[in-house]
Amino acid sequence: MVYVSWERAVELCFKLARKVADSGFRPDTIVAVLRGGVVPALIVSDVLNVEEFYAIRVKHWGIAEEVYKVPVVEQLPQGKLEGRRVLLVDEIADTGKTIEIAVRELRRMGPREVRTSVLHLKPTSSVVPDYYVEKLDRWVWVFYPWSTAETLISLAHRELGRGADAGEILRVAEAIAERLRVREPVRSILEVAMRFYVESLRAT
Say yes or no to pLDDT of 49 above 60: yes
Instruction: Clarify whether residues 128 and 170 are in a common domain.
Output: no
Please state, in angstroms and rounded to a whole number, the distance separating the CA atoms of residues 183 and 6.
9
pLDDT of res. 114: 98
| 35 Cβ contact partners less than 8 Å away, ≥ 6 residues apart | 57, 146, 147
pLDDT in tens, 99-119: 999 999 999 999 999 999 999
Domain enclosing residue 166, as ranges: 145-199
- Asked if residue 56 belongs to a domain, the reply is yes
**C-alpha distances in Å from residue 61, one per residue of 52, 89, 93:** 27, 16, 12
CATH code for the domain of 106: 3.40.50.2020
pLDDT in tens, 186-204: 989 998 998 888 666 655 5
Between residues 198 and 13, the one the model is more confident about: 13
Q: Quick one: DSSP state of residue 15?
A: H
Phi, psi dihedral angles at 150 (to 5 degrees):
-55, -50
- Domains identified in the chain, total number: 2
Instruction: Clarify whether residues 105 and 170 are in a common domain.
Output: no
- Asked if residue 204 belongs to a domain, the reply is no
First to last CA, the chain: 23
Average pLDDT over residues 65-81: 71
Instruction: Clarify whether residues 124 and 160 are in a common domain.
Output: no
The model carries a pTM of 0.88
The residues pairing with 141 across neighbouring beta strands, listed in sequence order, are none
Instruction: Clarify whether residues 108 and 8 are in a common domain.
Output: yes
